[in-house]
Amino acid sequence: MNRRVHLFTLSTCGWCRKTKRFLDEHGVDYTWDDVDLLPVPRREEIEELMARHNPRVSYPTIVVDGSEVIVGFDEARLRAALHL
């Protein structure tokens, strides 16, 4: 079963890179926003959206199927959420 996975990341965040690498290594399709690279109006929109999932607005924030939220790189939770 394909899961919809979206990451809110920073281009400079080591944990964000580690999360992307983990997903890549396991063949998981995902989309992402490197929030720090977005133009200001779009960045503000994305941060508001992100805050609905993670009020602390910390990175990485991983949203699976629009509802399950994993904050930070947590391999065990990622494996469970993605059935790996």
- Torsion angle of alpha carbons 11, 15, 20, 25, nearest 10°? 150
Please name each of the domains of the chain with its CATH number. Answer: 5-82 (3.40.30.10)
What is the reported pLDDT for 9? 98
Tens-digit pLDDT profile for residues 11-46: 999 999 999 999 999 999 999 999 999 999 999 999
pLDDT > 90 fraction of the chain, expressed in percent and rounded? 96
pLDDT of residue 3: 87
Other C-beta atoms within 10 Å of 3: how many? 13
Residue 2 has a pLDDT of: 79
pLDDT of residue 1: 61
DSSP letter for 38, please: S
Q: For 5, what's the count of Cα atoms within 13 Å in the CB-facing half-sphere?
A: 22
Mean pLDDT over the full length of the chain = 96
